[in-house]
């Protein structure tokens, strides 16, 4: 049965090789891609096959099938260890149980739909719609736990990075000076929306001033005129940390080492500047710096080579 043994061995090796990228991505992204319902029957099936091959005297097939089964065990362990990779955000967002009044809901919808429209054709994985949605969720949670105005914090979260669309697509915004920071561009774009767009007449002047302040200073840890300003900054920091923060970091730095080291240092700085107890607690509970510590270790170790006299 030599040819059968060789054929099974070759096919099993090809199947094992096809799994390597999956294992590698699971490790680097700290994600368990494979659902238990897929991995557990596969592991059991492969070990049963392994026993059958052994009983038939197919030695190579037994060894290779055993190795393939073990790789599936590793996929199973990744799922157990890392979960589905979005659990961190889900864990936080699942705690948000906030009901808005009808008027507040209308204000929220006016802002949300405008942000959605802005990013609909200008997809930005790092600072686009998804980021705004997550930051709005974190801001809502923090504001509700801190007894602050949940609506204002949520609106600030949705709006804070609209200037990124101007920065990324200057051709769509010819009247803007794109040499300015995205914070300033966010501020100026929101001013324009407030002046020109009828749907924002639902907001009061006080609310508009507060939001303009929040956007303009979402980089400045001393700009605390409004609770929504520092809640927004805490929420923004949370989304820049943890597993999602690391994915955004990779998409942003695109392998540029100098940029990566600067961004890593900034993450450590952020830990000392969380303002609210809720954000500090989320940081501690979810150990948000861990992915960045691992990334830092990986980068530094990669740079060490032997020395010569």
Residues in contact with Fe ion by CB under 5 A are 161, 236
Q: Which two tokens stand for residue 14?
A: 């090809």
| Least separation in angstroms between CB 218 and Fe ion | 6
Q: Which is nearer to Fe ion, 151 or 244 (CB)?
A: 244
**Angle CA(204)–CA(210)–CA(215) in degrees, nearest 5?**
125
Q: What whole-number distance in Å separates Cα of residue 285 and Cα of residue 237?
A: 15
**Angle CA(38)–CA(43)–CA(50) in degrees, nearest 5?**
145
Q: Which is nearer to Fe ion, 50 or 132 (CB)?
A: 132
Q: Which is nearer to Fe ion, 135 or 286 (CB)?
A: 135
| Least separation in angstroms between CB 240 and Fe ion | 7
Q: How far apart are the first and last CA of the chain?
A: 58
| Least separation in angstroms between CB 206 and Fe ion | 23
Long-range contacts of 259-264 (CB under 8 A, 24+ apart): 260/299, 261/299, 264/292, 264/295, 264/296, 264/299
| Least separation in angstroms between CB 160 and Fe ion | 6
Q: Which is nearer to Fe ion, 161 or 210 (CB)?
A: 161
Chain centroid, CA 130 distance in Å: 9
Q: Which is nearer to Fe ion, 5 or 188 (CB)?
A: 188
How many residues are given for the chain? 309
């Amino acid at each position: 049965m030599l040819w059968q043994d060789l054929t099974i061995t070759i096919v099993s090796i090809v199947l094992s090789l096809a799994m390597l990228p999956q294992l590698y991505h699971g490790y680097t992204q700290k994600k368990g891609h494979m659902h238990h319902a897929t991995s557990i029957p596969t592991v059991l099936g492969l070990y049963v096959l392994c026993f059958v091959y052994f009983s038939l005297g197919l030695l190579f097939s037994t060894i290779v099938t055993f190795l393939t089964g073990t790789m599936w065990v590793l996929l199973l362990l990744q799922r157990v260890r890392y979960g589905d990779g979005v659990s961190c955000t889900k864990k936080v967002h699942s705690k948000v149980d906030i009901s808005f009044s009808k008027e507040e809901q209308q204000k929220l919808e006016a802002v949300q739909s405008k942000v959605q429209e802005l990013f609909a054709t200008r997809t930005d994985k790092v600072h686009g719609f998804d980021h705004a949605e997550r930051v709005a969720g974190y801001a809502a949670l923090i504001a509700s736990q801190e007894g602050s105005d949940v609506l204002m914090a949520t609106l600030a979260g949705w709006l804070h990075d609209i200037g990124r669309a101007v920065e990324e697509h200057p051709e769509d915004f010819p009247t803007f000076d794109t040499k300015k920071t995205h914070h300033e561009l966010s501020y100026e774009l929101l001013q324009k929306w407030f002046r020109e767009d009828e749907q924002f007449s639902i907001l009061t002047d006080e609310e508009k001033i507060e939001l303009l302040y929040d956007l303009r200073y979402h980089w400045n840890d001393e700009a605390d005129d409004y609770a929504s300003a520092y809640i927004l900054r805490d929420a923004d920091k949370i989304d820049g940390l943890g597993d999602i923060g690391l994915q955004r970091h990779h998409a942003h730095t695109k392998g540029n080492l100098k940029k990566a080291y600067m961004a890593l240092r900034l993450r450590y700085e952020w830990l000392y500047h969380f303002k609210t107890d809720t954000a500090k607690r989320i940081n501690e509970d979810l150990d948000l710096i861990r992915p960045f510590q691992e990334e830092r270790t990986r980068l530094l170790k990669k740079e060490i080579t032997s020395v010569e006299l």
